[in-house]
Structure 1
Amino acid sequence: MSRGRHSPVPQPTPDERALLEALVRRRQTPRGLATRARVILLSTDHPEWTLSDIGEKVGLCDDTVSVWRRRFIRAGIDGLSDAPKSGAPRSIQDQQVEQVVRLTLDTLPAHATHWTTRSMARASGLTQSAVHRIWRAFGLRPHLTSSFQLSKDPLLIEKVRDIVGLYLSPPDRALVLCVDEKPQIQALERGGVTFPMQPGQEERTGHTYIRHGTTTLIAALDAKVGAVIGRCYPRHRTVEFLDFLEEIDRRVPSELAVHVILDNYITHKTKAVQGWLIQHPRYTFHFTPTSGSWLNLVESWFALLSRRRLRRGDFHSKDDLEQAIEAFIAQNNEHPQPFVWKRSADDILDSIRRFCLPYLRTTTSRDSSESVH
């Protein structure tokens, strides 16, 4: 590490560390509080780092890093909170705030799936506006939920390091292509009247439509440049995938090695595809982990295609849809923009570890309790 300023290194207790990790991991944590918690964790995990090293990692200056380290040493977790502002005395006490937060995180209202400001106000004896302010201060949003999918691939770590390595440090004289299928794209003819956008009013369309069939797009995204090779097919079987591989082979200069990133769909692993790879030794397949399609950059391009051309498109036939897709690809390739991958494999795997840690602790505690009884 580079030379620079130092200050006393905080030493959180195991309970404090668990709470700090929870603050960093929880998406609802206010950004400032999460940054301060991360400062303490980095200081503890890397005592040799200077204030500048930590500040560069979290986006703070040396003096600010030093302030939060000293405040944590003096007051623990409470020292990371903002100092009280001047003004009228508080009408809501800490015990009431703690009660609202505890009820929100640890309980559910009767006959409902989540708390509302009205139901929490009845349970806590506060006003709805007070409950709303407390939730906003602690980043609590009971009305929202998100889904996740953890990969159970036994080779998760190896595959993450392999694919991220191709993005961050591509090999010389080689092309990295992200390949996938976007199946069942519907050619929808919008019915009814469309009212164009006006100041203060979004575009409005009717809810009826006519289906004119579907098509499947197989696309290969150049991870470094952002250019796309794409072709539409009526189905996505092995024969169509092999035809697309031949299309890639015709368009990629013969002197380049080709690294193909793709998912575990069955058509990518058939004997016919394996035979094609033997006949074309310059190609190497890199499979994403199971439930790890987010590692394939072409998924981001598919999302762009859907958002800009398909979702609100009006197509009178399947040919009309395919022509629109081809035109979008041609326009993309006139001025290609790559999707720049920034996170390292270590960062990704560390995020997965932090995400799983509370579950592992709960499971271990439950197993220990059951063994005692």
Structure 2
Amino acid sequence: MPRTGRPKAELILTDEEHQTLTRWSRRRKSSQALALRSRIILGCGQERSNKEVATSLGCTPATVAKWRNRFIADRLDGLVDEPRPGRPATITAEQVEDVITSTLEQTPKNATHWSRAQMAERSGLSKSTIGRIWKAFELKPHRADGFKLSNDPLFVEKVYDIVGLYLNPPESAVVLSVDEKSQVQALSRSQPAFPMMPGMPEKRTHDYARHGTTSLFAALNVADGTVIASTHRKHRAIEFKKFLTKIDKHVPDHLDIHVVCDNYGTHKHPLVRNWLGKHERFHIHFTPTYSSWINQVERLFAEVTRELLQRSDHRSVQALEKDLREWVKAWNEDPQPFVWTKTAEEILVSLSRLMQRTTGAGH
């Protein structure tokens, strides 16, 4: 006899509850946490099993069970805050919804985003209460991240191509992530730094003198983390061709070379194309526009910035270039490859979710 599991408490929605949950789940800019909880309850209200609801919404059956039980116990109020010991909550679900929607859909007078004090004044709640509501629904009005979605018509094809190289590299070939960190400045601080002491961080002056720039050309072997690098005072097509020649000399002759690089003009210059036409083992894979995140060498540039350039003090370009070469040499003594884990499908699903959250697509 098949197991039926523990019987679930019956969940029946009133017309008013159904309308409120539908509004919460469909609001274009609603809190994603509250929207998911609302869709869970609406699914449970259709007499579907926890497993069926979880599968349709992409969450776990345990999550469905948790919010089903919370709703049965506290109805709509159970979806907006954890029950706590002590005196009963004095904040209603409508007040919480008002704070959330106001945070997401409005801005205060003479400001670009809400502070706790401004929202407290508007809502009549305390600043600490506003803070707890924002924390519960992971709202951080003081923070902003930048992004730019690719408008490349071949975006999907390029993502599959490059991620395929990372996860399933071709046999008898090396995959190199290539780019230039251009205009690296040789900077000298106007005064010597005060060294770090117990209870006091290192102190540096904010002003400095410029002594010229150089560009770091780098090719990261995505399999073993080793780096081929050069420094050039300019980053024209002729310098890029010289760097490709250096790569050609470093990579054993029996291996094909797959180069992942961005759409910078020098990478597509006729001088470079002519050189590539004479070196058939080179295969160029261009990243989608505005998608530097898919080029692994950018992680290497982040490391050299953090470890060397951020606090550097160089009084000549020659000194800067020497330190860059020494940094790459030290890196190659114990190379650390950056392990790529996401498949192309997972990347495209994540971008689809971002589009839905930012534009309301699909609602």
Distance 1:314 1:86, change over 3 A: same
Residue identity in the other structure for 2:221 = D
- Alignment CA distance shift 1:20-1:112 (3 Å): closer
Structure 2 residue identity aligned to 1:356: M
Name the aligned partner's letter for residue 125 of structure 1.
G
Report Cα offsets for 1:13-32 as digits up to 9, x if no partner: 987765799766xxxx6xxx
Q: Which residue of 2 aligns with 1:174?
A: 173
1:49-198 matched pairs, under 5 angstroms: 64=62, 67-68=65-66, 71=69, 83-198=82-197
Unaligned runs of 5+ in 2: 9-17, 42-47
Q: Aligned partners of 1:286, 1:21: CA distance in 2, in Å?
A: 38
Checking the alignment, whether the CA contact within 8 Å between 1:264 and 1:288 is kept in structure 2 is: yes
CA distance in 1, matches of 2:224, 2:334: 10
Q: Secondary structure at the match of 1:195?
A: coil
Q: Root-mean-square deviation (CA), in Å?
A: 3.7
Contact kept, 8 Å, 1:232 with 1:322, in 2: the verdict is yes
Q: Please list the CA deviations of residues 63-89 of structure 1 after superposition, one character each: whole Å capped at 9, or x if unmatched.
A: x35734865997999776665122222
Q: Alignment partner of 2:176: what SS?
A: strand
Relative to structure 1, is the Cα distance of residues 143 and 15 closer, same or farther in structure 2, using a 3 angstrom cutoff?
A: same
- Secondary structure at 2:249 match in 1: helix
Q: In structure 1, what is the equivalent of residue 292 of structure 2? A: 293
Q: What residue is the counterpart of 1:232 in the other structure?
A: 231
Task: Give the counterpart letter for 2:352 in structure 1.
Answer: R
Shift of 1:266: 0.9
Paired positions, count: 342
The aligned residue for residue 206 of structure 1 is 205
Q: CA deviation at 1:170?
A: 0.8
Q: Contact 2:29–2:360 at 8 Å: present in 1 too?
A: no
Q: CA distance change for structure 1 residues 318 and 277 in 2, over 3 Å: closer, same or farther?
A: same
Q: Structure 2 CA distance, aligned partners of 1:145 and 1:324? A: 34
Q: CA deviation at 1:148?
A: 0.9
What is aligned with 1:251?
A: 250
Q: Which letter maps to 1:266?
A: G
What amino acid is aligned across from residue 306 of structure 1 in structure 2?
T
Q: Distance in 1 between matches of 2:94 and 2:71?
A: 24
Further displaced range: 72-81 or 351-360: 72-81
2-structure distance, mates of 1:307, 1:87:
48
1:220-369 correspondence to structure 2 within 5 Å: 220-358=219-357, 361=360
CA distance in structure 2 between the aligned counterparts of 1:266 and 1:6, rounded to whole angstroms: 63
Q: Identify unmatched segments of 5+ residues in structure 1.
A: 41-46, 366-373
Q: Is the 8 A contact 1:256 1:282 kept in 2?
A: yes
Report the Cα offset of residue 35 of structure 1: 9.6
Contact 1:226 1:339 in 2 (8 A): yes
Contact 2:166–2:222 under 8 Å retained in 1: yes
Measure how far apart 1:93 and its partner are.
2.7
SS of match in other structure, 2:86: coil
Deviates more, 1:259-268 or 1:100-109: 100-109
Partners in 1 of 2:162 and 2:40 — Cα distance? 30
Residue identity in the other structure for 1:248:
I
Mean alpha-carbon deviation: is it higher for 157-166 or for 137-146?
Answer: 137-146
**Relative to 1, partners in 2 of residues 1:128 and 1:154: Cα closer, same or farther, differing over 3 Å?**
same
How much does 1:145 deviate? 1.4
> In structure 1, what residue type is equivalent to 2:90?
S
CA distance, structure 2, for counterparts of residue 74 and residue 304 of structure 1: 51
> 2 CA distance for matches of 1:165 and 1:37?
38
**Is the Cα contact below 8 Å between 1:227 and 1:337 reproduced in 2?**
yes
What is the DSSP-based 3-state SS (H/G/I as helix, E as strand, rest coil) of the residue aligned with 1:161? helix
Shift in Å at residue 309 of structure 1? 0.3
Q: Which amino acid aligns with 2:298?
A: E
How far did 1:97 drift?
2.0
Deviates more, 1:258-267 or 1:133-142: 133-142
Alpha-carbon separation, structure 1, partners of 2:208 and 2:80: 54
Shift of 1:316: 1.7
Q: Which moved more, 1:138-147 or 1:232-241?
A: 138-147
Query: How many Å separate the matches in 2 of 1:66 and 1:132?
Result: 26
Whole-angstrom distance in 1 between the partners of 2:157 and 2:141: 37
Post-superposition offset of 1:94: 2.5
Secondary structure at the counterpart of residue 218 of structure 2: strand
Q: State TM-score, norm by structure 1.
A: 0.80
Determine helix, strand or coil for the equivalent of 1:324.
helix
CA deviations 1:337-366 (Å, max 9, x no partner) are: 00111111111111111222355547x99x
Pair 1:16–1:101, CA change in 2 (3 A) = closer
Partner secondary structure for residue 350 of structure 1: helix
What secondary structure, in the 3-state scheme, does the structure 2 residue paired with 1:165 have?
Answer: helix
Distance in 1, Cα, partners of 2:209 & 2:360: 52
Letter in 2 for 1:229: I
Deviation per CA, 1:255-314: give whole Å up to 9, x if none. 111100000011111222112112111110000001111110000100110110011011
CA deviation map 1:178-198 (0-9, x unaligned): 000111100111221311112
